[in-house]
Amino acid sequence: MQSRLIKTDGLNQQVLVAGEGPLVLLIHGFPELGVSWRAQVQALSAAGYRVAAPDMRGYGGTDKPRGVEAYSILNLVGDMVDLVRALGAETCVVVGHDWGAPVAWHCALLRPDVFRAVAGLSVPFQPRRIKGPPTAAMAAISKRAGLGDLYIVRLQAADAHLALEIDTATTLRKLFYAYDGATPADRRSTGFMPEGVDLLDTIADDATLPPWMSADHFDEYVQAFSAGGFDGPLNWYRALDLNWSLTAFMQDQKIAPPALFVVGEDDPVRHYAGGAEVGLKDWAPNLMRSVVVPDAGHWIQQERPDAVNALLLDFLRGLQAANA
């Protein structure tokens, strides 16, 4: 397993790579890094695959362009197309977790010639809706339900990253705790905040690191986000309405490649994204499996590495058998 700095079109990407064989690309989410996939890099490379897990645009050792417009879904998919080419491959299987899942779904949606299969962890594909940009709809729905603000709406603010940067270690500790399956259900985040209450204030001050998170691994995150900040990562959220405006050309398009979806039973994201699980096969007709992992939360590839590795390897072997 090596960490390499790979120059692609206009972007330097820090990438964790290992193994030889068909390429598998692993896309992390927020607030994570390529090293979030370490267990999968080890298992998949040992099974005969070449595996690459980049720090995504705005994160870790990868470049961090300024401005929301640099973080559109088209840029993020383009980064992955460029990375596949830079790694000397023509096709790959793409796997995404959290924010990486929408990127992976859109990789398969927009470039099925490159991304021959897709696996989404924790976040199902959510198709573009014709009723208008998403953030206004999110705000209206949560207000009508009396839930306060969905955190995604709050993160649209141009200065939202500043509160997260006051104490990086506390921010990361609270976020990992609030979405972990081992955290008591009444202490996990629902994703909603009362008016006037910040996201971090909804999470207990005595939040501890999840049982799977070693001090050394946590320090990798603290160092990366202390150096790079949260502005770039939050631009992924701030680009949601921009994404809606850029993707009218793919309205009602379906995901053609074979697909896998995996979610933790106790993942708090299911409070506000879980509805899309029900109709996933309508949008991904070649969905091979949709799996709910018992007693798991949001950080599923780190909480339940053996289960996720087994599911991914079964999915990959199924693809090989189908192509034999």
Q: What's the confidence (pLDDT) of residue 38?
A: 98
Is 98 catalytic? The answer is yes
Q: Do residues 50 and 17 make contact, with C-beta atoms less than 8 angstroms apart?
A: yes
Q: What's the confidence (pLDDT) of residue 271?
A: 86
Residue 175: phi and psi, rounded to 5, are: -65, -45
Whole-number Å distance between alpha carbons of 139 and 148:
9
Whole-number Å distance between alpha carbons of 184 and 194:
21
Whole-number Å distance between alpha carbons of 242 and 71:
9
Q: List Cα–Cα distances, 33 to 134, 153, 180, 288, in angstroms.
A: 26, 23, 17, 28
Domains in the chain: ranges and CATH: 2-129+255-323 (3.40.50.1820), 134-237 (no CATH)
**Over the range 23-41, which residues count as b (16 or more CB within 10 Å of their CB) and which as e?**
bbbbbbbbbbbbbbbbbbb
Q: Do residues 119 and 262 make contact, with C-beta atoms less than 8 angstroms apart?
A: yes
Is 271 catalytic? The answer is no
Q: Do residues 261 and 123 make contact, with C-beta atoms less than 8 angstroms apart?
A: no
Q: What's the confidence (pLDDT) of residue 290?
A: 97
User: What pTM was estimated for this model as a whole?
Assistant: 0.97
Q: What's the confidence (pLDDT) of residue 143?
A: 76
Whole-number Å distance between alpha carbons of 291 and 260:
8
Q: Do residues 182 and 297 make contact, with C-beta atoms less than 8 angstroms apart?
A: yes
Annotated catalytic residue: which of 55, 63, 79, 98?
98
pLDDT in tens, the chain (324 residues): 999 999 998 899 999 999 999 999 999 999 999 999 999 999 999 999 999 999 999 999 999 999 999 999 999 999 999 999 999 999 999 999 999 999 999 999 999 999 999 999 999 999 998 988 999 888 887 777 678 889 999 999 999 999 999 999 999 999 999 999 999 999 999 889 888 889 999 999 999 999 999 999 999 999 999 999 999 999 999 999 999 999 999 999 999 999 999 999 999 999 888 888 999 999 999 999 999 999 999 999 999 999 999 999 999 999 988 886
Annotated catalytic residue: which of 28, 97, 106, 298?
298
Phi-psi category of 146—alpha, beta or left, where left has phi over 0 and alpha has psi -120 to 50? left
